[in-house]
Amino acid sequence: MRDPILLTPGPLTTTLATKVAMLHDRGSWDVDFNALTASVCRRLAALIDGGDEFVCVPLQGSGTFAVEAAVGTLLPREGKLLVLVNGAYGERMARLAQVMGRNLVVLDFGETQAVDPGRVAAALALDPAVTHVGIIHCETSTGILNPLEEVAHIVHAAGRRLVVDAMSSFGVLPLSARDMAFDAVVASSNKGLEGVPGMGFVLVRRETLLAAKGNAHSLSLDLHDQFTYLERTGRWRYTPPTHVVAALAAALDQFDAEGGRAGRLARYRDNCGRLRAGLERLGLAPFLPESLQAPVIVTVLAPNHPGYSFPELYDRVKGSGFILYPGKLTALETFRVGCIGAIGAAEIDAALFAIAQALAAMGVVPAGTAAPSTL
Ligand SMILES: *Cc1c(COP(=O)(O)O)cnc(C)c1O
């Protein structure tokens, strides 16, 4: 039986070729594996047009580990981080800085708005102690796309440094070192690159990283140490996720074959537009206006109907072979449908059909509302 299609923003549905790449055991000290790591890192750095100025530091763990490592390594102990928050991932970045005991200030924009560059400029002007700014490119808890380039220009003009959590937008939305200034971009294997979970990576300005020796609060999350060891030996410090690296290399081959970032963005845009339109046909309202919607995940307002419950919708849609994602908003009942992963029009249409059938069975929409499936 086919695995269910994951309409979740990572782990997500991967191709057979990506899964097959994991059918080998690779030694962490072996030259072939070291060459694979070096090649994956080079390809990742090229995706932001990093040239020789940026290096890629891979890190074991999920994306949060890499965000925590980036903040912990790049922010000096006496530095101060301004985190721009408009959802759960912004809150998480603030929380991890707080846990590691760093000076922290939060600018909160609420859950329904994008980060406002004007307010960022004002906050920086008011607080000269801020050395670094943290921003979430696509706030995956809602799907909001934040104005990264504008914020990057403001942070640069104010003489501060920028750390970008681009976890769910990396390899999908434009993010180039040629267009804007930043010190670090953090992402992971299992989102828009369509690899499997198990590693994050930080693309960081080489000179910033080399100057960051001794900043880290943690041994295993010290990116300076991870990088210098990798450069010296070609090996990861500590056991690498060998299968994950191999899967990511295969996923990058497919990424290139699809036309790189532009090709991937085109498919995800189509998935997202198709999903939003189909949900609207079912009477379900997307939470975000199109102007704020990143083509990553669609948040949907729960139907205001006594027959509706998310657990029942989830179970019914799962029975048809699709995994939905719960909402993550504090004030409103929502659910989420991801549009990233190795899925296209056929899977989106079939998912919409499954959602329609489930809602009809729950009495939320009239039977027969569903458009015919093409899968
Ligand atoms: C997925 C994601 C993360 C990391 O989450 P993990 O569960 O640790 O992989 C961080 N930030 C954003 C914006 C994300 O989408």
Give the amino acid at 286: P
pLDDT of residue 374: 47
Over residues 303-356, the pLDDT tens digits come to 999 999 999 999 999 999 999 999 988 889 999 999 999 999 999 999 999 999
Q: Is the CB of 195 under 6 A from ligand 1?
A: no
For residues 244 and 61, is the Cβ–Cβ distance under 8 A? no
Per-residue confidence band for 371, with pLDDT thresholds at 50, 70 and 90: low
Question: In this structure, which residue's CA is closest to atom 6 in ligand 1?
Answer: 63
Q: Is the CB of 89 under 6 A from ligand 1?
A: yes
pLDDT of residue 375: 46
Least confidently predicted of 217-221, 254-258, 369-373: 369-373
Q: Which of 85, 111, 168 to mutate to test the pocket of ligand 1 (most atoms within 8 A of CB)?
A: 168
Over residues 4-24, the pLDDT tens digits come to 999 999 899 999 999 999 999
Q: Is the CB of 64 under 6 A from ligand 1?
A: yes
Model confidence at 196: pLDDT above 90: yes
Question: In this structure, which residue's CA is closest to atom 9 in ligand 1?
Answer: 63
Model confidence at 62: pLDDT above 70: yes
CA 94 to ligand 1 centroid distance, Å:
14
pLDDT of residue 329: 87
Query: What are the CA-CA distances from residue 276 to residues 101, 193, 293, 335 (Å)?
Result: 42, 22, 10, 13
pLDDT of residue 331: 85
Q: Is the CB of 169 under 6 A from ligand 1?
A: no
pLDDT of residue 10: 87
Per-residue confidence band for 1, with pLDDT thresholds at 50, 70 and 90: low
User: Rounded to two decimals, what is the model's pTM?
Assistant: 0.96
Secondary structure (H, E, C), 220-259: CCCHHHHHHHHHHHCCCCCCCCHHHHHHHHHHHHHHHHCC
Over residues 90-117, the pLDDT tens digits come to 999 999 999 999 999 999 999 999 999 9
User: What is the percentage of the chain residues whose pLDDT exceeds 70?
Assistant: 98
Model confidence at 373: pLDDT above 80: no
pLDDT of residue 330: 81
Over residues 139-195, the pLDDT tens digits come to 999 999 999 999 999 999 999 999 999 999 999 999 999 999 999 999 999 999 999
Residue 364 CB coordination number (10 Å)? 23
Rounded distance, CA 162 to CA 152, Å? 7
Model confidence at 372: pLDDT above 80: no
Q: Which atom of ligand 1 is nearest to the CA of 188?
A: 9
